[in-house]
Amino acid sequence: MRVPEVDVTPLVTRRGDERAVADTIDRACRDTGFFSIVGHGIGAGLRARLDVLAREFFALDADEKTEIAMARGGRAWRGWFPVGGELTSGAPDLKEGIYFGAELSPDDPSVRAGRPLHGPNLFPRRPAELRETVLEYLDAMTALGHCVMTGVALALGLDRDWFQLELTAEPTILFRIFRYPPVAGEQATDGWGVGEHTDYGLLTMLGQDGTGGLQVRASTGWIDVPPDRDAFVCNIGDMLERMTRGYYKSTPHRVRNMSAQSRLSFPFFFDPGWDAEVKPIPVVAGHASAEAAERRWDGANVHELSGTYGEYLLSKVAKVFPALGTEVL
C-alpha cells in the first residue's frame, strides 16, 4: 500500500475538476488518512530558502539557540527546544525544533487577554532572514490549508466554503521546524525520532527533505512514506475524526531515525479557530460506514470531547511540554 498522490491544482486555481480531486481525497481519508499533494502552488524557491536558513540556525551552538528558548516565549508557546525536550506519548523525542504560530503584536486583543498560544514569534538573531521567510511561509501555507479543506468539504458533500464559514475563518495556525540528528550504531536500527501518535486538529501538511523516516500505520502494518521535496504529505487529525463520527479516521504515524545525516521536516497544522466548538457534521450521519464507537489505537475517545478547540489543544500541548505547561499555565 502507498500513500496516494493528489494534484490539488483545481482547488488552488479554482479551475478544473474539483469534484474529481475531492473524490480522491475522500478515498484517501477513508483508506489511510494520509495523502500527498502536488500542484499546491508553494514556490520551490521559498521552500529551499526555508531549508537553508533552518539548517543555519540548527548549526549554531546551544547557547545562541537558547536565546529563543521556549521558556522565553511564555504563554505564546513559541521558540526553540533541544533534543529530548518534547514528549510524544510520554516519551522524549529524538529531535530538536522551533515552534511558530500566527504572528500577533502585543496589542492584539487575544494577546492582551493572555490567551495561551497567541502572541509574537521568537526569531533568532542569526540567520536574520529566517523571520521574513517563516512569515511568508505561514501566509502561503494558510492559504493552501483553506484550499485543501475545500476539497475535504466537497468530499463530505458540504458546500465548498463550509469549513471556512463554520470553523476556520480565523484558523489556529501552528508551524514547526524539526531537526532529527544523525544516528549511528545501535540507534540506527531502533532510533525513534517521534513515537506513535495522531495529530490533534483538522489537517497537517508536512514538508520534508530527501532523508525519509515517516511511517504510517495501515491495515497491512507500518508503511514508509517516500520523501518528496516537491510534495506535501497531508493527514487528517482527531477533530476531523470527531466531526465525521469516525467516517474519516485520524491515523497513527511515527518517525524512525535510521539516517547517518540530519533530517529536517516542516509540519504545518491548520486547525479550527480557538473558540470554535467542534461538533459532528450532520451530513455524515448518512454514511453507513461512520461508526464512532470503534476503539482507537490509544484507547482515547475523541467523540466525548466537550468545550472549545482551544481548550482541547491546550490540554494536549501541556502534555508535550509538561514543565513549561506547569510554569506557564
Structurally, how many domains does the chain consist of? 1
The pLDDT assigned to 190 comes to: 56
Q: How many CB atoms lie within 10 A of CB 156?
A: 22
Q: What are the Cα distances from residue 202, in Å, to 15, 52, 93, 114? A: 25, 29, 23, 25
**Residue 179 CB contacts under 8 Å (≥ 6 apart), including other chains:** 54, 55, 58, 95, 96, 97, 262, 263, 264
The pLDDT assigned to 189 comes to: 46
Cα 187 from Cα 214, distance rounded (Å): 16
Q: What is the pTM of this model?
A: 0.93
For the residues 236-245, what does the mean pLDDT come to? 93
Cα 158 from Cα 320, distance rounded (Å): 34
Q: Is the pLDDT of residue 98 over 50?
A: yes
Crossing angle of helices 130-155 and 44-58, in 10° steps, is 130
Q: Per residue in 34-58, is it b (16+ CB within 10 Å) or e — as a string?
A: bbbbebbebeeeebebbbebbeebb
Cα 209 from Cα 198, distance rounded (Å): 21
Cα 99 from Cα 178, distance rounded (Å): 9
Instruction: Extract the C-alpha cell encoding 287.
Output: 454514511
| Mean pLDDT rounded to a whole number for the chain | 90
Split at pLDDT 50, 70, 90, the class of 292 is very low
CATH number for the domain spanning 195: value is 2.60.120.330
Split at pLDDT 50, 70, 90, the class of 283 is low
* Domain that includes residue 310, residue range: 5-328
Q: Is the pLDDT of residue 293 over 60?
A: no
Q: Name which residue leads in pLDDT, 324 or 201.
A: 201
